Structure 1
Amino acid sequence: MEFKDFIQKLSSVIRAGGSTDKFTRSIFEAILTEEGQSILDEYAQSSYKSFYNGNTSIRKISQKINAYIDPMEFSEYINGFPDAVAGTLSTVFSADIPDITPCNAAEKLADLFVSIITEAAGSKNKSAEKPLPPIIMDAEHGIAPDLAEYQDGVLFLQGIKQDPDEYVSPFKHYLEKAVSYYSTKKTLLYAEKPHPFYELYVCNDVKYHKYRITGAKDTKPEITISDATIEKLEAESKYIIIEGIGGVGKSMFLTHLFLSSSQTSKYSGIVPLFLSLKDYKDTTDNMVDFIWKSVCEYDSEISRKDIIGALQNKELVLLLDGFDEIQSSVRESFQSDLEAFIKSYNGNTIIMTSRPIYDSFVSFAKFSVFDIMPLTKIQALTLIDKLEFWDEAAKKSFMEALDNKLYSSHLQFASNPLLLTIMLMTYSSFGEVPAKMHVFYSKAYETMARLHDASKGSFKRPLHTNLTPEEFSGYFAEFCARTYRDEILEFDERSFNAYMSKVLRGTSAESKGIAPHDFLLDLTNNLCIMYREGSTYYFIHRSFQEYFAAVHFSSEYDAKLTRIGDFFEGMKNRNYSDKTFDMMYDMIPDKIERFIFLPFLKKIISEYSQNGKDEYWEFLEDQYPYINYEEGEIGDIYLLSPQSFLYKTIVKFKGLDYSYRIDSVKWPSQIYDLPTQNWVRVYSEFAEDEAFLNYPDPMNIDESILYDTMLIPEEQLPYQYDCYFGTPDKTGLMIEVEIYELRKYAYKYREIRKCMEEPEFPLMLEYQEVKEYYKKLKEKTEKEDASDDLFDD
């Protein structure tokens, strides 16, 4: 399509008066990054008018701006018009873009505009030229008849001259430097000297996360992948989230994918990019900007044009590490940026890691979620066997104990690579591994405080601060509590000093002249609880921040514990794997019950009871506003969970959680009067509208494509599906019971309400037992307050 046709068709819909030269310039502005805008000043108004009329070719201006085009910018420009405009544009451009619709008009027009500029510039991006498969030959024998004669099929070109114009990937130097960086790792055992990656790594299995807490449409058959590669993951989905608890090895897993894929990049033409999401800030403009700046850390010669060209040619695999490490204030904008990015550059594989997140990734509709599995016993033993440890006898003894008993008795620790390493260190020091998590971390800290390095074993040594390990931990615990509250996981020296200065203010450490920098030296060089990359400092693992935060919170005076409870109740971005409160409860259970649980229950139960006979329904609407009834086979399971963190914690710790029994309730037939979602089984390939564009003739569909099926809600069935395959059978249904509706129309839903008011109904039973627990806790506290005795016998 010629530019004049493109601009004139656009003009017929969105110009709204105005001169042709100003309109033409505005269209160029809409697709350029900020860096390219100044180029447009080089052209006069008459030039833009000539571009519009087709009297002047856009070849020269296209050559100048080609490095600065960004289709996402143009998509956002089109989406800025009223919704009706997209419909009109899809009609006007239907002959040029057969698959254009009002929903995808912005992205399709952006792609068309990019192709017009690229073709006019006469400079197709060379990244589109895939390298040919390697030819194995030498000057004497020609083509090698047997590849096994050569070392792993290495390319032999003895006496053969290289083509001086042979294409060289713009990512060549990036891969060389990034591979060099990631091929060695510093770990807890090797804090002073990095070790080769594969000498301390065992690949976890990953399992498709079939069941989600929310209703996101993602219902492929359950599958487990061993010895994962990018190719194996891509066979399941182009967009994947690898979810796992802290220390299970998510970053190491992504590093493995990067290193293994980099080895084949030269021949596959696919380039993996390892991108750390903790660097995604509120100052980041968009995903392309983030990718470009991340890659430039390893090769400053790479341009945005190289990035955009590779994205347009679907040549990149984006390995995004640590979604949960994006600051909560930025997380929403990242999700919007990522969604817009996928629309503009679909087809590039994205694999993202994260701890479990509260909303279970409901906003990532295109992503399949895989759990990174805990280490099996064989994998745990293999990992320990690989590690170079300073005490071989202790290592051998630990492996025997792990094989015989410890793996099963301490599964939570032994199946987690980080905690397993700490287990080895603790076992070598104490000859045992504590079962409680907070005791485990306490012993681990004691071990690390007396650890020199892997060659010298354990002995007591002074810290830069000249504090004892016990004194040091008190200050560090407050530092961790402050940074935990602020969701800070990384520091430069200035921000570290700012936090630590607040901790030291007015203390004996400050009067002794101990500076924040002394703590930083101890944490990185002696204790190895933190490490440095460039000018940034990180916790060796965030679980240490959680443990020490729990230590500080548990040491606070009693009256302040209530405020600490309010803080945990109000946390906006909570990871399911966060164990801070759990460890704090284990440390001081009686105080937690008295100063956190009791005030909380007093507040909510008094509020419920004010509603008289509606007390129970007030509780339901507050804690369980939606209950789901499922029948037959559906693709998602909806787990019933209270809205309040403290309430959920109370019923968990005190064994009062009855919500899991909700699936066994025999509901009255009136349940079917509520809004119902039907589920159907469909061919997986045709679960999305876009799939039908690839198969315009149903007669040409290979039967093998129809082997794989999946479940989706009936309302999400593509409109073409019935025409191709007939109406699919219903497999099950889901009914949402909304408490607000049951209260508003009490008489209409009297049968359902009667069922839910039965004494044995799970949530009625739970509420009554929570009230009874509150009553006994209140009586116990009043008795203690009234007694003058040291012991309440």
Structure 2
Amino acid sequence: MSENIANEIIKEVAVWGVPQMIDLIITTYVKPKLKKNTKDSNSILEEKLSEYLRRSYNKYLYMNTIVFKNQQKTIDDLYIPLTVSKRNIKPKVGYANILINKFPDNFIPLYTKVLLIDNAGMGKSTIIKYLYLEAIKQNKGIPILIELRRLGQDDVIIDFITNEISNIRKKFDNDDVYNLIEGGEFIFFFDGYDEIVEESKGKITDALREFISKAEKNMFIISSREESSLSCFGDFQRFDIKPLRKEEAYDLICKYDNNGELSKQLITKLENEENLKIINEFLTNPLMVSLLYKAFEYKSNVPYKKSIFYRQVYDALFEDHDRSKGGAYVHPKKSNLDIEDFYRILRILGFLTLKEGITYSKEKLIEILKRSKQYATGIEFKENDFIYDITYSVPLLLKEGTEYKWIHKSFQEYFAASYICIDAKENQSKYLSQMISNKKMDRYYNILDFCYDIDYKEFRKVIIYPTIKKFIEYYENSYTDEPYENYNAEDLDVRKNLNFIYENTYIIKIDKAVPSIDEQLKYTKEKFKEIFRGWKYVSDKNAAMLISNTGICVGYLKGYTNRILLKLLSSKQSPIIKKDIHTKSKRYSENIFNQLVEGEHLINENPANILNNHEIFGEVNRFLIEYLPQGDGTNLIFDYAECVKFKKEIEEEIKFEKENKLFL
């Protein structure tokens, strides 16, 4: 018996066992609660819950991936156990790492409220679906998975859940479901917070918080990319996904062709060609690993830049040769567009849909494609033909029921970034500036990442230069008073950076009359609400980090854009960034805070500020480095000397361009 046939039999056996697993969930968690209620709708609710679990199990068991064009693979075919990591609030304890190779009790239910946060392609949705399936297999509760992109701003969460369970025919009311939820033992998986359309985010966030508050006896996990609005979920524990190790990335590559020749060739190339070491960081991201495989399958070479990966994958999908016809035959497209015209429409489509989310009805998609034609003079096609091509011939969109969805949000972002940098030159600087304003940079991080690669010259002029200019000005005009002349230069460098990056940073000493950790957290949040008036949401993530039992916490009001820019530049190996910084004082002592009076202490350059005392200056820095959020687990600051060189280069470039304009 071949390995493929054996795998198919195993899959079928797994599906056959689903009714028994679901019956066990119903018997364990649902029937005991319904016995207390004699309403006739009990049997209907029980039946509908069983149907929902069976339906959703089969839905989330299968994955659509860019590697396997129009082929269904199960999660078990492609899942590499990922590790999630939680920063421990106790000093010197470090990170709590949990391997997701089953439904781990030290993840959920140990933490009843979890935020799963990470960058594009790290596998957040895959983990959510894997845990959902494992919850059913291991009888861990009543799992409900909600894709948040499907929520409208006027949707009531309980209505949405009821409709999900009811499917088409609704024979019970919300009270039946709500009474069941009130009893606890549900596990709510809210997937893709970052995929909620911006105009609906405020209302949906409020609805989520209200629902979670009312259904507090249950367990909740929310997945998302990094977003500032997540700060409103202050009572959730944050987990990040650990990057893949090289061995794990290679295991994933081998899964794509069942340990065939192509995966062996790619791994050999990655191991032995010295010039490929530059892309090692791509091996840490599951999506990038899959794109690497797809790009290599197409051209047998490895692109060095992220944006080139995506272009090569697009080319591979468009020119997917029919090997049954000699490997040179390319299926014609119904739209009759060539590879470049099709690419141009995709760029426009990516840009126009940024505010629309990643899922659309057919009517909406047709409307957007009609608008796309207005941006692409000279390109003609029928909207229905293009929809067919983008779903089947060049499958960058998936058809789910009556809706169409980008196969991954990062493809929408790649095409949008390409539009900004290629088609919208006259407005490029305006678009780039808008994306870093008003706390939008986290939402557009991946687009900016692509723009950095596609048009670095414009990116550094519009985004990096203004920030560096402000930094140098602040650096050269702060901590210049006479008392600081004898301070350690490294300590001063770090403090100037921290003050620039995090505006309005406070250290608060808790009132001794506040005894427990929970009460201290509550006290701290209230304190920060007083300090940061007008700040809608205050949490221990962005405005109050409690430090164990010391009665000390640290918080900041601004600096989000600076942190995101540092993270982006660090990922690009920019010389103007210092990584893993250390101060003269290698560790801080909790005893340094004994002399602080209760209340808030603003970090500033006033020599009279007790936090600026010479003997504890470096230790205060170390404390801030330890507990101010960095975003990617490293300590990042600007390199002043490199920033000065960078600023000079750009200003010389701007001057040269002004003096050497070409006239025809």
Please, what TM-score do these two structures have when normalized by structure 2?
A: 0.69
Name 1:342's counterpart in structure 2: 212
Q: Is 1:752 the counterpart of 2:612 in the alignment?
A: yes
Counterpart Cα distance in 1 of 2:81 and 2:579: 36
Task: State the Cα distance separating 1:494 from its structure 2 match.
Answer: 2.3
Find the partner of 2:346 among 476, 487, 508: 476
Q: Letter of the aligned partner of 2:368 in structure 1? A: Y
Check whether the contact 1:320–1:353 (CA below 8 A) recurs between aligned residues. Answer: yes
Task: State the Cα distance separating 1:753 from its structure 2 match.
Answer: 9.9
Q: Is 1:429 the counterpart of 2:349 in the alignment?
A: no
Find the partner of 1:398 among 263, 266, 269: 266
Q: Is 1:259 the counterpart of 2:133 in the alignment?
A: yes
Check whether the contact 1:248–1:374 (CA below 8 A) recurs between aligned residues. Answer: yes
Name 1:278's counterpart in structure 2: 149
Counterpart Cα distance in 2 of 1:765 and 1:341: 42
Counterpart Cα distance in 2 of 1:326 and 1:271: 25
Name 1:383's counterpart in structure 2: 252
Which deviations, in whole Å up to 9, do the C-alpha atoms of 1:121-151 show, x marking residues without a partner? xxxx9551699xxxxxxxxxxxxxxxxxxxx
Which deviations, in whole Å up to 9, do the C-alpha atoms of 1:467-522 show, x marking residues without a partner? 221221122112212323x2622222222223222221164445xx4133333222
Name 2:188's counterpart in structure 1: 318
Name 1:554's counterpart in structure 2: 421
Alignment of 1:79-118 (within 5 A): none
Q: 1:229 to 1:775 in 2, by over 3 A?
A: same
Alignment of 1:279-318 (within 5 A): 279-285=150-156, 287-297=157-167, 300-301=170-171, 303-318=173-188
Alignment of 1:128-167 (within 5 A): 128=33
Counterpart Cα distance in 2 of 1:239 and 1:458: 53
Q: Letter of the aligned partner of 1:128 in structure 2? A: K
Task: State the Cα distance separating 1:536 from its structure 2 match.
Answer: 1.4
Counterpart Cα distance in 2 of 1:402 and 1:411: 8
Name 2:67's counterpart in structure 1: 189
Alignment of 1:224-235 (within 5 A): 224-229=98-103, 231-235=105-109
Counterpart Cα distance in 2 of 1:167 and 1:358: 38
Q: 1:630 to 1:198 in 2, by over 3 A?
A: same
Counterpart Cα distance in 1 of 2:245 and 2:132: 23
Unpaired runs of 5+ residues, structure 2, are 1-29, 37-42, 482-492, 510-545, 626-635
Q: 1:663 to 1:307 in 2, by over 3 A?
A: farther
Name 2:575's counterpart in structure 1: 655
Counterpart of 2:223 in 1: which secondary structure?
strand
Q: Is 1:365 the counterpart of 2:234 in the alignment?
A: yes
Task: State the Cα distance separating 1:777 from its structure 2 match.
Answer: 2.1
Find the partner of 2:320 among 451, 458, 478: 451
Task: State the Cα distance separating 1:640 from its structure 2 match.
Answer: 11
Alpha-carbon RMSD across the aligned residues, in angstroms, is 4.9
Counterpart Cα distance in 2 of 1:570 and 1:502: 27
Check whether the contact 2:359–2:403 (CA below 8 A) recurs between aligned residues. Answer: yes
Name 2:6's counterpart in structure 1: none
Counterpart of 1:319 in 2: which secondary structure?
strand
Q: 1:627 to 1:400 in 2, by over 3 A?
A: same
Please, what TM-score do these two structures have when normalized by structure 1?
A: 0.59
Alignment of 1:682-701 (within 5 A): none
Q: Letter of the aligned partner of 1:194 in structure 2? A: Q
Task: State the Cα distance separating 1:452 from its structure 2 match.
Answer: 5.3
Q: Quick one: percent identity of the two aligned structures?
A: 20
Counterpart Cα distance in 1 of 2:651 and 2:105: 59
Q: Letter of the aligned partner of 1:229 in structure 2? A: F
Q: Letter of the aligned partner of 1:493 in structure 2? A: K
Q: For the pair shown, which has the larger CA radius of gyration, 1 or 2? A: 1
Name 2:396's counterpart in structure 1: 529
Check whether the contact 2:414–2:450 (CA below 8 A) recurs between aligned residues. Answer: yes
Counterpart Cα distance in 2 of 1:500 and 1:507: 10
Unpaired runs of 5+ residues, structure 1, are 1-124, 132-164, 678-714, 716-734
Find the partner of 1:180 among 41, 44, 58: 58
Counterpart Cα distance in 2 of 1:343 and 1:257: 23
Q: 1:358 to 1:174 in 2, by over 3 A?
A: same
Q: 1:637 to 1:297 in 2, by over 3 A?
A: farther
Task: State the Cα distance separating 1:245 from its structure 2 match.
Answer: 2.1
Counterpart Cα distance in 2 of 1:413 and 1:766: 25
Q: 1:754 to 1:661 in 2, by over 3 A?
A: same
Q: Is 1:783 the counterpart of 2:653 in the alignment?
A: no
Find the partner of 1:519 among 386, 393, 408: 386
Which deviations, in whole Å up to 9, do the C-alpha atoms of 1:669-722 show, x marking residues without a partner? 9x9699678xxxxxxxxxxxxxxxxxxxxxxxxxxxxxxxxxxxxx9xxxxxxx
Q: 1:776 to 1:384 in 2, by over 3 A?
A: closer
Q: Is 1:466 the counterpart of 2:336 in the alignment?
A: yes
Counterpart of 1:350 in 2: which secondary structure?
strand
Name 2:114's counterpart in structure 1: 240
Q: Is 1:504 the counterpart of 2:364 in the alignment?
A: no
Task: State the Cα distance separating 1:229 from its structure 2 match.
Answer: 0.4
Task: State the Cα distance separating 1:251 from its structure 2 match.
Answer: 1.8
Counterpart Cα distance in 1 of 2:35 and 2:279: 50
Counterpart of 1:592 in 2: which secondary structure?
helix
Task: State the Cα distance separating 1:388 from its structure 2 match.
Answer: 5.1
